[in-house]
């Protein structure tokens, strides 16, 4: 007989790890105990040598599906001659473990959900150790029912029995409950008054009659209506003042989604993954006819499959309440628009009373319940293998760094803000927080900092922020650092973009970085956004840039692509064309004169603004309804045109490293066929950037290229450029675990801050 103390670290709490250990111990005839503590899971075990060896092996390879085992460390212990194996009380203490992410209802729970004989038949809060809410309901670690928003739902005798029975699949399932002891679903009218109907039946009936129903999800409310009811979709748009932004649709399964979009094997797997992100899929030609107004004019549609029992029950009801799970494999006709309930770009609505108040005038009814959402968490959005928004299902999963290092708090940027906290060799990036242009989002940012520091139990040594001093995140960083007597470091926006990609690839550099972006404040005070950088830890040298275009009207130019088109025309010496070409725009008359005098026309090297200029020149879009819209429409147009060859002589590269795209812009200004031109623009841009990088690689001897910045959400550009660089024998690093846009820069800021501390 031997005895060991075993420590397991990683994501091992709230994922059924202790029951897994208990079952292993029964099987291997071991004695001792297992418990959660601040560092993860601790085991004291004694038994014969061979079973003890098998235990260590299987702790690693048979771990439960939601867990992530980072380390299993065993040390010899004194034999205590214990009898049997037990799960003992959690030990509080310094936290260095992680909470699991929220996941969709698992197959076993679905079996029970649709089984009329099961006591959890149609139970809207069914969950087990392998599925259900985690991050969004957890207040503190260690993960225990008392620390979640299920705390005030005491288990009934039957549930308590399952919870305490190591052989049951709900053994220590912290969020378990049943119709008798769990939260209650309820349906309310537009003013919050309870409606007498059975909630699922009533909600579906309302939706089918064209109503907009606010439904409480894992990380916040969704606004839901019938996706094939053009009137309801138009009403939702009008009420949400979201004139053109695409909506995502909620569909029963992959088969049903094939009615509207093309889906390859990887996309099908992603749709059905337990994280249940919204996946952007290529629309069929008739998609806009079937789902009028859902994602007008765009080539892709965001699709999400049911995540929560409530969502499953809506589809179940629509299918006529069949028994069993077979119906979920068959095509279902119910198609629902499901858009985040975040009026005015503010954070998600999570609390019931807030929902009724903030969604007044938008929602016709509310399907909600009394299980609180502790942390708001938006839906994640993925296209291809690329994150566009990283939130529910992925937060708070840590990103592994190259090495352990000091703890850093990075406060992110302005748009699509996220924050990042590092601990040892892990980086915790928060869910998507949003644009920090309103008080509610700024408050959410501050709460997110407090929450992430608490959940990771980190006292940062340094605070990082964007170089721009006026961002809310930068001001917050300064105040936080002052309050806590910490070092502070400002990180240039595009340095951070490249560093974010290096961090997730655990690549230490030096490296060539191409930042293709909207606008970020440059080290020289200019408006950067198309930069060739040489990044080496905390050092970042700008070795190339795009030839600048003026931004006529400053910030307005970023929202009005016609202004960038005018800037391009002016730059080409064709200022006289501005007024006639953009006669619809009131400001067009005076713009040439404004450009001549250089009044309120700061120069920018942003590639994002070049996309805007082309969208304006091709009359794709004069004024953008939302950030990035012009570039998205341009990409959609190019996709329809198919293959194009680069324009010969479309660019010039100067000895000073300046890439000049004016010849390409001249061609765009003269183009007759917008779709053909859009395709040619993408092809030429990819060729130009590839040559630019190739020359820089030769000059610097660097063979690794890192691509960062919002422009790399453009699939055509990213694909074509990557192919060219790879063909030229260069290694390409791209954003995989975070979006390439500003949603990822907090990780880059943290990475640079660590190199600063270590230097
Ligand atoms: Zn389950
Ligand atoms: Zn119960
Ligand atoms: Fe950026």
Ligand 1 centroid distance, CA of 370 (Å): 20
Ligand 1 centroid distance, CA of 226 (Å): 28
* Helix (H) or strand (E) segment spanning residue 369: strand 365-369
Give the ligand with the smallest distance to the CA of 170. Answer: 1
Give the ligand with the smallest distance to the CA of 308. Answer: 1
Ligand 2 centroid distance, CA of 147 (Å): 18
- Which pLDDT belongs to residue 29? 93
Give the pLDDT confidence of 479-518 residue by residue, as tens digits: 999 999 999 999 999 999 999 999 999 999 899 999 999 9
Give the ligand with the smallest distance to the CA of 491. Answer: 3
Ligand 1 centroid distance, CA of 524 (Å): 54
Of the candidate ranges 85-89, 175-179, 426-430, the one whose mean pLDDT is the lowest: 85-89
Q: What percent of the chain has pLDDT over 70?
A: 99
Ligand 1 centroid distance, CA of 715 (Å): 36
Show me where the domains of the chain are located: 2-87, 185-382, 404-509+741-758, 513-734
Domains 404-509+741-758 and 513-734 share a fold: yes
Ligand 1 centroid distance, CA of 111 (Å): 9
- The three-class DSSP label of residue 569 is helix
Give the pLDDT confidence of 100-121 residue by residue, as tens digits: 899 999 999 999 999 999 999 9
The alpha carbon dihedral of 264, 249, 305, 174 has a sign of positive
Tell me what the mean pLDDT of segment 82-105 comes to: 78
Ligand 3 centroid distance, CA of 628 (Å): 12
Confidence of residue 140 (pLDDT cuts 50, 70, 90): confident
Which residues is 521 bridged to in the sheet? 527
- Which pLDDT belongs to residue 348? 94
pLDDT(99) > 80: no
Give the pLDDT confidence of 431-449 residue by residue, as tens digits: 999 999 999 999 999 999 9
Ligand 3 centroid distance, CA of 405 (Å): 26
Assess contact for 494 and 709: CB atoms under 8 A.
yes
Match domain 513-734 to its CATH number in 3.30.43.10, 3.40.50.2000, 3.30.420.40, 3.40.50.720. Answer: 3.30.420.40
Of the candidate ranges 42-56, 84-98, 585-599, 662-676, the one whose mean pLDDT is the lowest: 84-98
- Which pLDDT belongs to residue 517? 96
- Which pLDDT belongs to residue 37? 83
pLDDT(141) > 80: no
Ligand 1 centroid distance, CA of 109 (Å): 4
Question: Which regions of 199-270 does DSSP assign to beta strands (E)?
Answer: 213-216, 221-226, 248-251, 261-262
Ligand 1 centroid distance, CA of 173 (Å): 9
Give the ligand with the smallest distance to the CA of 495. Answer: 3
Tell me what the mean pLDDT of segment 685-708 comes to: 97
Ligand 1 centroid distance, CA of 112 (Å): 9
Confidence of residue 92 (pLDDT cuts 50, 70, 90): low
**Top CATH class, 185-382:** alpha beta
Give me 64's structure tokens: 């439960």
Ligand 3 centroid distance, CA of 452 (Å): 23
| Cβ neighbours of residue 446 closer than 8 Å, sequence gap 6 or more | 476
What mean pLDDT is reported for the chain? 94
| Cβ neighbours of residue 432 closer than 8 Å, sequence gap 6 or more | 378, 389, 390, 391, 416, 417, 418, 743
pLDDT(315) > 90: yes
**Per-position DSSP letters for 469-534, written without gaps between them:** TTSHHHHHHHHHHHHHT-EEEEE-HHHHHHHHHHHHHT----EEEEEEEEEEE-TTSSEEEEEEEE
Confidence of residue 81 (pLDDT cuts 50, 70, 90): confident
CA distance 601 to 432: 32
Q: Determine phi and psi for 358, rounding to 5 degrees.
A: -75, -25
Ligand 1 centroid distance, CA of 128 (Å): 4
- Which pLDDT belongs to residue 365? 98
Give the ligand with the smallest distance to the CA of 466. Answer: 3
Give the ligand with the smallest distance to the CA of 161. Answer: 2
- CATH no. for 404-509+741-758: 3.30.420.360
Give the pLDDT confidence of 275-291 residue by residue, as tens digits: 999 999 999 999 999 99
- Which pLDDT belongs to residue 57? 93
Give me 371's structure tokens: 């299980």
Q: Residue 175, Cα to own-chain centre: how many angstroms? A: 25
Ligand 1 centroid distance, CA of 521 (Å): 47
- Which pLDDT belongs to residue 143? 78
Ligand 1 centroid distance, CA of 104 (Å): 8
- The three-class DSSP label of residue 201 is helix
Ligand 3 centroid distance, CA of 622 (Å): 22
- CATH no. for 2-87: 3.30.70.100
Considering only residues 127 and 621, tell me which one the structure prediction assigns the higher pLDDT: 127
| Cβ neighbours of residue 598 closer than 8 Å, sequence gap 6 or more | 550
Q: What percent of the chain has pLDDT over 90?
A: 85
Ligand 3 centroid distance, CA of 519 (Å): 6
Ligand 3 centroid distance, CA of 533 (Å): 14
Q: Residue 255, Cα to own-chain centre: how many angstroms? A: 25
Of the candidate ranges 155-159, 457-461, 546-550, the one whose mean pLDDT is the lowest: 457-461
Ligand 3 centroid distance, CA of 515 (Å): 8
Ligand 1 centroid distance, CA of 61 (Å): 21
- Which pLDDT belongs to residue 100? 83
Give the ligand with the smallest distance to the CA of 105. Answer: 1
Give the pLDDT confidence of 347-384 residue by residue, as tens digits: 999 999 999 999 999 999 999 999 999 999 999 999 98
Give the ligand with the smallest distance to the CA of 109. Answer: 1
Give me 90's structure tokens: 């959690």
Give the pLDDT confidence of 582-620 residue by residue, as tens digits: 999 999 999 999 999 999 999 999 999 999 999 999 999
pLDDT(14) > 80: no
**Per-position DSSP letters for 332-350, written without gaps between them:** ---EEEEEE--GGGPPPP-
Q: What is the pTM of this model?
A: 0.92
Ligand 1 centroid distance, CA of 144 (Å): 17
Assess contact for 683 and 646: CB atoms under 8 A.
yes
- Which pLDDT belongs to residue 642? 84
- DSSP assigned state of 15: S
CA distance 241 to 141: 39
Ligand 1 centroid distance, CA of 272 (Å): 15
- The three-class DSSP label of residue 424 is strand
pLDDT(88) > 90: no
pLDDT(95) > 60: no
Confidence of residue 267 (pLDDT cuts 50, 70, 90): very high
Give the ligand with the smallest distance to the CA of 468. Answer: 3
**Residue 149, Cβ density class (10 Å: 0-12 exposed, 13-18 middle, ≥19 buried):** buried
pLDDT(94) > 70: no
């Amino acid at each position: 007989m031997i005895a060991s103390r075993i420590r397991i670290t990683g994501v091992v709490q709230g994922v059924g790890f202790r029951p897994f250990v208990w079952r292993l111990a029964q099987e291997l005839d071991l004695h001792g105990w297992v418990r959660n503590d601040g560092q993860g899971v601790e085991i004291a075990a004694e038994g014969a040598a061979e079973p003890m060896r098998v235990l260590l092996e299987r702790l690693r390879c048979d771990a439960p599906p939601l867990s992530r085992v980072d380390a299993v460390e065993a040390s010899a212990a004194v034999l205590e001659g214990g009898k049997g194996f037990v799960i003992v009380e959690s030990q509080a203490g310094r936290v260095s473990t992680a909470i699991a992410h929220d996941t969709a209802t698992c197959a076993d729970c679905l079996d029970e959900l649709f089984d009329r004989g099961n006591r959890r038949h149609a139970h809207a809060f069914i969950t087990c150790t392998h599925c259900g809410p985690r991050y969004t309901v957890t207040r503190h670690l260690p993960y225990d029912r008392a620390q979640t928003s299920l705390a005030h739902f005491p288990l009934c005798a039957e549930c308590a029995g399952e919870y305490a029975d190591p052989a049951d699949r709900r053994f220590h399932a912290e969020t378990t409950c049943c119709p008798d002891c769990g939260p209650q679903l309820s349906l309310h009218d537009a003013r919050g008054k309870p409606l007498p109907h059975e909630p699922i039946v009533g909600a579906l009936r309302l939706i089918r009659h064209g109503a907009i129903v606010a439904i409480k999800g894992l990380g916040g409310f969704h606004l839901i209506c019938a996706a094939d009811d053009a009137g309801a979709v138009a009403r939702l748009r009008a009420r949400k003042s979201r004139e053109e932004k695409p909506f995502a649709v909620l569909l029963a399964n992959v088969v049903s989604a094939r009615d509207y979009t093309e889906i390859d094997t990887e996309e099908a797997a992603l749709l059905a993954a337990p994280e249940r992100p919204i996946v952007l899929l290529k629309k069929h030609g008739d998609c806009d006819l079937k789902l009028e107004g859902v994602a007008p004019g765009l080539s892709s549609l965001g699709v999400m499959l049911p995540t929560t029992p409530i969502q499953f029950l809506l589809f179940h009801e629509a299918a006529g309440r069949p028994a069993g799970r077979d119906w979920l494999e068959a095509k279902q006709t119910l198609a629902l628009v499901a858009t985040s309930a975040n009026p005015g770009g503010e954070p998600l609505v999570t609390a019931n009373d807030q929902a009724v108040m903030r969604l007044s005038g938008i929602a016709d009814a509310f399907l909600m319940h009394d299980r609180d959402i502790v942390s708001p968490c938006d839906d994640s959005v993925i296209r291809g293998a690329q994150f566009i928004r990283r939130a529910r299902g992925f937060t708070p999963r840590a990103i592994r760094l190259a090495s352990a290092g000091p703890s850093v708090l990075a406060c992110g940027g302005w748009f699509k803000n996220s924050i990042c906290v590092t601990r040892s060799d892990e980086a915790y990036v928060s869910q998507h927080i949003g644009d920090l242009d309103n008080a509610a989002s700024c408050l959410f940012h501050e709460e997110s900092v407090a929450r992430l520091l608490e959940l990771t139990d980190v006292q940062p040594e340094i605070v990082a922020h964007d170089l721009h001093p006026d961002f809310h995140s930068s001001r917050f960083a300064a105040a936080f650092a002052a309050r806590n007597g910490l070092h502070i470091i400002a990180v240039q926006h595009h340095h951070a973009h490249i560093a974010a990609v290096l961090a997730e690839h655990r690549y230490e550099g030096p490296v060539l970085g191409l930042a293709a972006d909207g606008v970020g404040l440059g080290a020289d005070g200019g408006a950067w956004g198309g930069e060739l950088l040489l990044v080496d830890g905390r050092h970042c040298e700008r070795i190339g840039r795009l030839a600048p275009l003026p931004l006529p009207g400053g910030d307005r130019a970023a929202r009005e692509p016609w202004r960038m088109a005018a800037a391009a025309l002016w730059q080409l010496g064709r200022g006289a064309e501005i007024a006639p070409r953009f006669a619809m725009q009131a400001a067009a008359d005076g713009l040439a004169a404004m450009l001549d005098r250089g009044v309120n026309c700061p120069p920018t090297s942003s590639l994002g603004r070049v996309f805007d200029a082309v969208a304006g020149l091709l009359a794709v879009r004069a004024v953008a309804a939302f950030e990035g819209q012009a570039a998205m429409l341009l990409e959609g147009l190019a996709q329809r045109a198919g293959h194009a060859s680069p324009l010969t002589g479309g660019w010039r590269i100067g000895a000073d490293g300046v890439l000049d795209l004016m010849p390409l812009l001249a061609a765009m200004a003269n183009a007759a066929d917008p779709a053909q031109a859009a395709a040619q623009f993408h092809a030429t841009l990819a060729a130009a950037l590839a040559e630019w990088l190739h020359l820089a690689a030769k000059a610097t001897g660097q063979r690794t290229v890192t691509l960062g910045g919002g422009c790399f959400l453009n699939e055509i550009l990213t694909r074509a450029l990557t192919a060219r660089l790879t063909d030229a024998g260069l290694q390409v690093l791209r954003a995989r675990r975070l979006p390439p846009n500003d949603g990822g820069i907090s990780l880059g800021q943290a990475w640079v801050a660590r190199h600063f501390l270590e230097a």
